[in-house]
Amino acid sequence: MLLEATDLVGGYPSAEQIVKGVALSADAGELVTIIGPNGAGKSTALKLVSGLLKPSAGAVRLAGQDLAGRSPQALARAGLGFVPQEHNVFASLTVAENLEMGCLFAPREAKARSAEAYARFPMLAEKRRDPAGSLSGGQRQILAMAMALMARPKALLLDEPTAGLSPAAAHDLFATIRGIARDGLAVLMVEQNALEALEISDRATVLVDGRNHLDGPAAAVAGDPDIRRLFLGGRQSTPGPQGQ
Amino acid sequence: MEALLQTLVNGLVAGSLLAVPALGFSAIFAVLRFPNFAIGALATAGAYGAWLANVGLGAPIPVAVAIGFVVAGLAGVAVEFAALDRLGRAGHLMKAIGSLAVGMVLENVIRFAFGNDLKAFDLPLARDIVFGPVRIGPQQLASVGFALAAMAAFWAFLSLTSLGRSMRAVADNPNLARLKGVDPTVVALVTVFLGAGLCGVGGTLIGLDASLDPLTGGRILLSVFAAAVVGGLGSIPGAVVGAFLIGITEEMSSLALAPAYRLAVSFAVIFLVLSFRPAGLLGRAVR
Ligand SMILES: Nc1ncnc2c1ncn2[C@@H]1O[C@H](COP(=O)(O)OP(=O)(O)OP(=O)(O)O)[C@@H](O)[C@H]1O
Ligand SMILES: [Mg+2]
């Protein structure tokens, strides 16, 4: 496995046990979706993998190197990209500057890679001089992803990339994400649009109350009757202590 | 009418001298997220460094101003990493209070070393320049030039260099900056050096304008704070706009009120501006 987290435990200073022993993995070229009820600890798990939070136990391996507990800078340098759920662009910097911030480890490549990003996402080229804070929600998600790709990561963590997007925009973004994985990246994605996310994913993990509830091929998870009832059918019954 | 014009010019001079330390204060606030009240004493430290270079070593004024920048910058870094950084774990309020205390210590160290008497820079005597009804000292004009140059240089650093861009990125979103590989300690160090350095330039220019004593920086501390708050704490253009607004209002108030009321006027401006724009003139709403 290119990216593998095992027995991950951790949380926040005020709530130390949010993630209570989670295993996550994605191989090169693989798209793995994480679903689970609100408050299950999905975002927290990604923060633990990315180094924004320090795990109190467990391992995070990227290309064979154990990086658990290292700083986010060290993980980024090792080839991990992370697009957080919120505040995932520098709102007061221009689009062009945001892309450059994605390329701090290879500043000489910034020009060429920005040009590639503009070719892939023409909307960004149009807005290159605008502050990122002026972009719409969907445009922001594109910029956040393009910025993460500027570093040419080996593995990418995405936290709810389609949150707040129109169904059409979400559909396009899913196609882009599928393409990114096809290019050979290991992609771990948390999603609320579970049905559509599972359709394009290779594998899936269901997190409930800080633990793995179910792992398997995406099609099998999508077909699991319990999962269908809990996450895919509607929002009337969400399990877990934080359920609403 | 003539008095009004002269006062306006005085206000513009005061505003430009205030804008330099206000920029430094605001930059430190934007990146480290606490109001550093040691900047008054740091401005004084820079000014004494410049004075020593000028009077003791015969350095010309531009060199002395540069030395004021470096001395205050280094003192600021020393204060941050020897004292304030440790308080950081207890929160930003502790750091703010700590900076007030460290500022008093620094001010008294300076008093102990140099005494309480006024020091003057070694300046050639020169006639005021007269433009119709308005007169301005040549050194004042040069100081405004230094102030504008310092602001322009800082602006260029922020917008044209990659370190400057990283500084703005940390100010905008510190966690995302770390995810992109920015080392927050390096950015904090550079910010404190440059921010405190700008305060040193401000202190030196104010010392050049009148004279120097251990309270030179302390006297402008509240005006600098007022300028940064009015402009929007942490906003770089805001600090400049705020400084001119405070400088001009303080000078204008001298037409009607005793000088002792200057600060009261500054705080009346804060009160007015924040009543209508709680984030300051150019500040972003706290999210
Ligand atoms: N900064 C924080 N400090 C303390 N507790 C937090 C913090 N952020 C989240 N939590 C708590 O951690 C738990 C898990 O939150 P997390 O954001 O990981 O859930 P999630 O699965 O991503 O949910 P969602 O689907 O709503 O994004 C929640 O109970 C939440 O209240
Ligand atoms: Mg979440």
**In this predicted model, what pLDDT tens digit does every residue of B222-244 receive, in sequence order?**
999 999 999 998 899 999 999 99
At residue A235, does pLDDT exceed 90? no
DSSP alpha helix (H) spans, B161-235: 162-172, 174-179, 184-209, 216-231
Say yes or no: CB of residue A42 within 6 Å of ligand 1: yes
At residue A135, does pLDDT exceed 60? yes
**In this predicted model, what pLDDT tens digit does every residue of B112-152 receive, in sequence order?**
999 999 999 988 888 888 888 888 888 899 999 999 999 99
pLDDT of residue B133: 85
In angstroms, the CA A85 to CA B169 distance is 18
pLDDT of residue B278: 84
pLDDT of residue B177: 97
At residue B263, does pLDDT exceed 50? yes
In angstroms, the CA B199 to CA B216 distance is 12
Cα angle A181, A184, A185 (rounded to 5 degrees) comes to 60
Nearest Cα to A77, choosing from A65, A87, A85? A65
Q: Which two tokens stand for residue A184?
A: 């050979």
Q: Say if B166 is an interface residue toward chain A (CB within 8 Å).
A: yes
| Mean pLDDT estimate for chain B | 92
Which residue's CA is the closest to the ligand 1 atom numbered 28?
A39
Nearest Cα to B216, choosing from B15, B41, B51? B41
Interval B77-94 mean pLDDT: 90
% of chain A surpassing 70 pLDDT: 95
At residue B287, does pLDDT exceed 60? no
In angstroms, the CA B182 to CA B163 distance is 9
Q: Which of the residues B163, B175, B179 would you substitute to probe the A interface, choosing the one with the greatest number of A C-beta atoms within 10 Å?
A: B179
At residue A238, does pLDDT exceed 60? no
pLDDT of residue B282: 86
Q: How confident is the model at residue A201 (pLDDT cuts 50, 70, 90)?
A: very high
In angstroms, the CA B280 to CA B287 distance is 14
Name the residue in chain B with its Cα closest to that of A96. B165
At residue A95, does pLDDT exceed 90? yes
In angstroms, the CA A142 to CA A164 distance is 13
Q: Strand pairing of A65-66 and A57-62? A: antiparallel
pLDDT of residue B277: 86
What are φ and ψ of residue A61, in 5° steps? -110, 130
**In this predicted model, what pLDDT tens digit does every residue of B194-219 receive, in sequence order?**
999 999 999 999 999 888 999 999 99
pLDDT of residue A51: 95
- Which residue ranges make up each domain of chain A? 3-86+155-243
pLDDT of residue A236: 40
CATH homologous superfamily of A3-86+155-243: P-loop containing nucleotide triphosphate hydrolases (3.40.50.300)
Question: What is the distance in angstroms between the Cα of B173 and the nearest Cα belonging to chain A?
Answer: 6
Q: Which DSSP category does A229 fall into? A: I
Entry pTM: 0.91
Name the residue in chain A with its Cα closest to that of B168. A93
Interval A10-19 mean pLDDT: 92
Question: What is the distance in angstroms between the Cα of A225 and the nearest Cα belonging to chain B?
Answer: 38
CB-based contacts of A144, cutoff 8 Å, min separation 6: A83, A88, A89, A161
Name the residue in chain B with its Cα closest to that of A81. B179
Q: Which two tokens stand for residue A81?
A: 């990209």
Interval B80-91 mean pLDDT: 88
In angstroms, the CA B214 to CA B229 distance is 25
Tell me, what amino acid is at B171?
A
User: For chain A, how big is the Rg over CA atoms in Å?
Assistant: 17
pLDDT of residue A240: 43
Say yes or no: CB of residue A86 within 6 Å of ligand 1: no
pLDDT of residue A233: 58
Chain B residues with CB under 8 Å of A114 CB are none
**Among the ranges given (A59-63, A68-72, A113-117, B88-92), the one the predictor scored with the smallest mean pLDDT:** B88-92
Nearest to B178 among A72, A102, A105 (CB): A72
pLDDT of residue A232: 64
Q: Which DSSP category does A131 fall into? A: B
ipTM score:
0.91
pLDDT of residue B285: 56
Interval A58-66 mean pLDDT: 94
In angstroms, the CA A47 to CA A67 distance is 13
B169-197 per-residue burial string, b: 16 or more CB within 10 A, e: under 16: bbbbbbbbbbbbbbebeebbebbbbbbbb
Contacts with B, A 123-162, CB within 8 Å? 147, 151
